[in-house]
Amino acid sequence: MGTHLPLNLDLPRLQQLGRHWGKALPAGAVVLIYGDLGAGKTTLVQSIGEGLGITEPIQSPTFSLIQEYLEGRIPLYHFDLYRLLPQEVRDLHPELYWQGEEVAPGIVVIEWPEYLPDLPEEYLKVELVVATPEQRRLTLSATTLHQPLLPNLLNP
Ligand SMILES: Nc1ncnc2c1ncn2[C@@H]1O[C@H](COP(=O)(O)OP(=O)(O)O)[C@@H](O)[C@H]1O
Ligand SMILES: [Mg+2]
């Protein structure tokens, strides 16, 4: 994995970063968001959605598993895999979303990627840690093809 850059972000800055990503991320980008409950994963996804121009409210898709938002600049596919079994995740065929063949190519964002039986070949990896009640420590890294995106993504 390439560059790792830690940022300490309060809520407005984390939301600003997410909106920037929603404007900047290309179709085909896969964003894996690691972090405990309350770390800010869904908050980040909501901000990415805002940057994409999605006005529909984005909630955690815990009961629907995959939520598709098609009204923005490009589609947003939001997964929340919390506590799914490997076979349940396989049955969702998440690879169809990042292969972009059977669905329109868009941005795939995955909460709880620990539950993916197989990682995509290429992805951005976000790690969120609660630093203080108001601050989150965000680390961003990328596999080979996503690495050229990093400098822009870190400068909202
Ligand atoms: N700097 C921050 N970044 C993100 N969320 C924050 C921050 N400070 C406080 N929060 C709060 O933490 C909670 C994060 O919840 P959520 O995004 O649902 O987390 P997760 O999806 O990781 O379980 C929200 O209530 C949010 O307002
Ligand atoms: Mg969540």
> What is the full per-residue pLDDT of the chain (156 aa) written as tens digits?
666 678 999 999 999 999 999 999 999 999 999 999 999 999 999 999 999 999 999 987 666 688 999 999 999 999 999 988 889 999 989 999 998 778 999 999 999 999 999 999 999 999 999 999 999 999 999 999 999 999 999 987
Which two three-digit tokens encode residue 148?
């050229």
pLDDT for 150 equals 93
**What separation in Å is there between the alpha carbon of 40 and the centre of ligand 1?**
3
**Under 8 Å between Cβ of 115 and 86:** yes
Kindly report the pTM of this predicted structure.
Answer: 0.96
Q: How far is the CA of 133 from the centre of ligand 1 (A)?
A: 9
Distance 150 CA to ligand 2 centre (A): 23
Output the pLDDT for position 124: 97
Of ligand 1's atoms, which has the minimum distance to the CA of residue 134? 8
pLDDT at 5: 72
Q: Give the mutation target among 37, 43, 58 for probing the ligand 1 site: most ligand atoms within 8 A of CB.
A: 43
Given this model, what pLDDT does residue 3 score?
61
Q: Which two tokens stand for residue 140?
A: 């961003």
Which runs of E-coded beta strand occur in 1-123?
A: 5-9, 30-34, 66-69, 76-80, 107-111
Burial of 75 (0-12, 13-18, 19+ CB in 10 A): buried
Ligand 2 is an ion; residues with CB less than 5 A from it: 41-42, 60, 111
- Domains within the chain, CATH numbers bracketed: 5-150 (3.40.50.300)
Only one residue has tokens 């909630």, namely 59
Which residue's CA is the closest to the ligand 1 atom numbered 25?
Answer: 38
Ligand 1 atom 3: residue of nearest CA: 11
- CB within 8 A of 22, min separation 6: which ones? 47, 48, 49, 50, 51, 52, 53, 72, 73, 107
What is the distance in A from the centroid of ligand 1 to the CA of 130?
9
- Report yes or no: 93 and 103 within 8 Å, Cβ to Cβ: no
Cα–Cα distance, 125 to 131 (Å, whole number): 18
